[in-house]
Amino acid sequence: MIQNNRLFLSPPHMSGREQEYIAQVFESNYIAPLGPMVDRFEQNIRDYTHTSNALALSSATAAIHLALRVLGVGTGDLVLASSFTFIGSIAPILYQNATPVFIDSDAKSWNLDPALLEKAIAQAPKKPKALILTHLYGQCADLKTIAQICTHHDITLIEDAAESLGATYNTQQTGTFGTFGVYSFNGNKILTTSGGGMLVSSNKELIDKARFYSTQARDHAPYYEHTDFGYNYRLSNVLAAIGVAQMEVLEKRITMRRQIFQWYREALRDISEITFMPELSDTRGNRWLTAITFERSDPERIRTHLETADIESRPLWKPMHLQPLFKNGSVFQNGTSEGLFNKGLCLPSGTQMTSGDVEYVCAILKKALR
């Protein structure tokens, strides 16, 4: 097979109606920052996730930051967090001058280990204020167990569902089990607005407070009056129009990502050293990225070999507790995430891929293994 175009890891895939909705924005002259498309996009998310409140923001990182701010997390507070994640999940803890406590993954989900969570809570020098739980690569963590632990210890659960929009646990959407849920619409996500995020919650009072902080904490007055400080975190009406169009095809995109995963699994089924990221029973992941590990081969050598064929791949996340920024940080570990980082690779998973594209990637990957 001759492959002429670069295969990106997770490129944007437009629905075809984005320009139509953007044109409506320009016709209405609601260019920025807010407008009817923002309201419509928030309603789309509420309807899809069956949550009662949604706040469209500039990024998922901003959403996590606002969640911590309205919860009163501040200097010296402890915030538990998944270690196997992206820095955007953790940076807001530092914004609030709080201290992250990292928790390793379990082998059955690659997500946060509930047993280590219990251990971290038991050994904490003081009661943690919150847990930021990441649903990695669109696959659900053990939500039932983790949510029960948080409830038992009266610890606020914030779900980092940045990668898992559309993933479900017992048919309930990720992002709706905790006090807060967070979604990302970055350019590489399963739904993109170029850049953007969403904060959801069943608690209207908390979302209203987050909304206040997201618009520079401007008091209700005919002039600019401030009794507190806030941030410029709202999503623009133009970008929200893209999100409205993207929501119309979200289920199709999830179906395709899961199909791509199945194509990979079928094509690589005979290679015993390859293991695919697992999916917990009673869950449906969105398979945002197909993630695999190699038992013997060096994933970096395979990544560079794929690159010679114009195929983009990426190592699995480097755990936060291994980052130089947190070299002296607190961590409860079992070696799982470090092992996954050392052995893992994410394969191209864009929803415009064909079965032939997947076969091509697998053919190059097999050559690298040989």
Query: Could you tell me if 206 and 351 lie in one domain?
Result: no
What pLDDT sits at residue 33? 82
Mean of the pLDDT values across residues 136-159? 98
Query: Could you tell me if 39 and 183 lie in one domain?
Result: yes
Query: Could you tell me if 31 and 163 lie in one domain?
Result: yes
Instruction: Write down which residue in 247, 262, 296 finishes a domain.
Output: 247
Query: Could you tell me if 111 and 138 lie in one domain?
Result: yes
3-state secondary structure the chain: CCCCCCECCCCCCCCCCHHHHHHHHHHHCCCCCCCHHHHHHHHHHHHHHCCCEEEEECCHHHHHHHHHHHCCCCCCCEEEEECCCCHHHCHHHHHCCCEEEEECECCCCCCECHHHHHHHHHHCCCCCCEEEEECHHHCCCCHHHHHHHHHHHCCEEEEECCCCCCCEECCEECCCCCCEEEEECCCCCCCCCCCCEEEEECCHHHHHHHHHHHECCCCCCCCCCCCCCCCECECCHHHHHHHHHHHCCHHHHHHHHHHHHHHHHHHCCCCCCEEECCCCCCEECCCCCEEEEECCCCHHHHHHHHHHCCECCEECCCCHHHCHHHCCCEEECCCHHHHHHHHEEEECCCCCCCHHHHHHHHHHHHHHHC
Residue 216 is part of a domain; what is its CATH number? 3.40.640.10
What pLDDT sits at residue 4? 57
pLDDT in tens, 274-288: 999 999 999 999 999
Task: Give a yes or no: residue 5 inside a domain.
Answer: no
For residue 343, the enclosing domain spans 250-369
Query: Could you tell me if 174 and 298 lie in one domain?
Result: no
Mean of the pLDDT values across residues 211-238? 95
Q: Give 123's pLDDT tier (boundaries 50, 70, 90).
A: very high
Task: Give a yes or no: residue 124 inside a domain.
Answer: yes
The total number of structural domains in the chain stands at 2
Tell me the pLDDT of the chain averaged across its residues.
Answer: 97
Model-level pTM? 0.96
What pLDDT sits at residue 2? 42
Instruction: Write down which residue in 216, 247, 278 finishes a domain.
Output: 247
pLDDT in tens, 57-83: 999 999 999 999 999 999 999 999 999
Proportion of the chain above pLDDT 90, given as a percent:
97
Instruction: Write down which residue in 247, 275, 306 finishes a domain.
Output: 247
Query: Could you tell me if 218 and 326 lie in one domain?
Result: no
Task: Give a yes or no: residue 66 inside a domain.
Answer: yes
What pLDDT sits at residue 5? 87
Residue 293 is part of a domain; what is its CATH number? 3.90.1150.10
Task: Give a yes or no: residue 99 inside a domain.
Answer: yes
What pLDDT sits at residue 1? 41
* pLDDT(272) > 90: yes
pLDDT in tens, 316-360: 999 999 999 999 999 999 999 999 999 999 999 999 999 999 999
